[in-house]
Chain A
């Protein structure tokens, strides 16, 4: 068998390390070629005019951008807080010893995880029309909070349930053996630890909600209630220019990128602690 091994380099004429080196070389060459083509083929002045027109940038920033940014944040936070409270209740129901609670929460979770958020949002937008006299408080904010929060809570419930179950059984035993009733042990001992475990995935949920808040446009918002997407899109439409949308997109990244970095930090720290 040793002859085969000895033969191999002779056949290919290259050691494995050399071959890997050459593969890397080829990949760099391809990358450089593509970049060069883009650089020369693209119409840079036109691109700048469409995506980054200076006077459009100024107009976008000056008109309603701060208000739109604020609205995006308000829609998001409201939906997140409502989703968190509802999700915690659902998670506790999911773990309840009372079977009907478990069924109800399972049905809820499966129902809202299976629906597109936009459908729920449309439905809640129509409710006051369908039920004359019905009023959703803080409309349109309340409508967005309710609709997006209900959907988000289905996802959060599963995350929180997993977090609760990740708390070692010994913790509740220690709490109970001090004489704490079950509810107190859950509130004081289990939930604080569960929430520490689920902070990274819940922050991811917050990032998703930041982006989903853009669905609020479907409610036919008035100017004061515009969030980033609606605001950028309207300006872009009237001016047949993408600059406002680019700026809106940039604003989303301004919120989501730091959150992503925080999540990654927390995950790294938790991995180390374990």
Chain B
């Protein structure tokens, strides 16, 4: 859809000058922007640039240290906000799936509905089955997460989030922990969701997905949004040097003469607090 169409759409998430520091390490240095209903936004950028932190600030898994976040008109950064109610409307899909290992696939998809939405067990199961069908795992409802492949687990995680009937889905590198041959199924599910009109905010390194599916691509680096726009623009014809360098590395990963360049770039961005495990990810 075109930018003018988008401009007329209802704003689902409004972010105003969002800042987040971990101690002395300022990870988000003032992020502003909006997510419109039905829009698919892909966030790209080098590791450690604050993509996960931005995503996690939207549903307050991280507490922002500055700025405001509004979801459906409700300010979640207001200390009096009932965050549980807002979170119920925002599906979240994690890099590491985070399925509940002590519950079956079906129970994973019903527990939130029953506990949070107060749906009856039969209603919750009907909704869960509908979503398991959507992600192509209707036959796995009795299995435990440990019995599934990574790709299947991630699709269950998507079904779990969808079962809450969210207004918006957040994805944090949903395919980064998967073996390459399992990535396709998860991306297909996400493509289908996008085509059905789901509002999606996706941190990803899958450039082909971003190019095909995203309405807008945001390139982040060093805690700022460096560049954003239509995928053809940002990925196809980047304007900033940092975007060009990043895309060059991602799209030509085996090009010679660049070993260590990313390490140096990373070190330069985080001189104060070096990333402990070096992967730039916030979770241990």
User: A184-B115, A273-B146 known; A177 and B90 CB under 8 Å?
Assistant: yes
Contact A177 B102 (CB under 8 A): no
Contact A170 B94 (CB under 8 A): yes
Q: Type the 1/0 row for B137-178, where 1 means its CB is closer than 8 Å to any CB of A.
A: 000000000100000000001001100100000000000000
Of A177, A189, A193, most buried by chain B (CB within 10 Å of CB) is A177
B134 proximal to A (CB < 8 A): no
Contact residues of A: prevailing secondary structure: helix
B61's partner among A168, A177, A188, A273 (CB-CB below 8 A) is A177
A180's partner among B59, B92, B94, B112 (CB-CB below 8 A) is B112
Contact B115 A174 (CB under 8 A): no
User: A169-B284, A174-B92, A273-B146 known; A180 and B98 CB under 8 Å?
Assistant: no
Q: Type the 1/0 row for B92-117, where 1 means its CB is closer than 8 Å to any CB of A.
A: 10101011111000000001100110
Residue in B closest to A187 when the chains form the complex, CB atoms: B115
Q: Type the 1/0 row for B187-228, where 1 means its CB is closer than 8 Å to any CB of A.
A: 000000000000000000000000000000000000000000
A96 proximal to B (CB < 8 A): no
B255 proximal to A (CB < 8 A): no
Please choose the segment from B15-23, B80-88, B238-246 that sits at the chain A interface, where 4 or more of its residues have CB less than 8 A away.
Answer: B80-88
Contact B112 A178 (CB under 8 A): yes
Residue in B closest to A171 when the chains form the complex, CB atoms: B98
Residue in A closest to B56 when the chains form the complex, CB atoms: A173
Residues of A within 8 A of B164 (CB): 178-179
Residues of B within 8 A of A175 (CB): 100
Residues of A within 8 A of B (CB): 168-171, 173-181, 184, 188-189, 192-193, 196, 273
Contact A174 B98 (CB under 8 A): yes
Q: How far is the CA of A181 from the CA of B84 in the complex (A)?
A: 6
Residues of B within 8 A of A (CB): 59, 61, 84-92, 94, 96, 98-102, 111-112, 115-116, 146, 157, 160-161, 164, 283-284
User: A178-B116, A178-B164 known; A173 and B111 CB under 8 Å?
Assistant: no
Residues of B within 8 A of A273 (CB): 146
Q: How far is the CA of A190 from the CA of B157 in the complex (A)?
A: 18
B85's partner among A179, A184, A192 (CB-CB below 8 A) is A179
User: A170-B96, A184-B115 known; A179 and B146 CB under 8 Å?
Assistant: no
17 contacts between A and B (CB under 8 A): A171-B98, A173-B94, A173-B98, A174-B92, A177-B59, A177-B90, A177-B92, A178-B88, A178-B112, A178-B161, A179-B84, A179-B85, A179-B86, A179-B88, A179-B112, A179-B164, A189-B100
Residues of A within 8 A of B146 (CB): 273
A193's partner among B92, B101, B157, B283 (CB-CB below 8 A) is B101
Residues of B within 8 A of A171 (CB): 98, 100
Contact B283 A177 (CB under 8 A): no
Q: What 4 A-B pairs have minimum CB-CB distances, sorted nearest first?
A: A179-B88, A178-B112, A174-B98, A177-B92
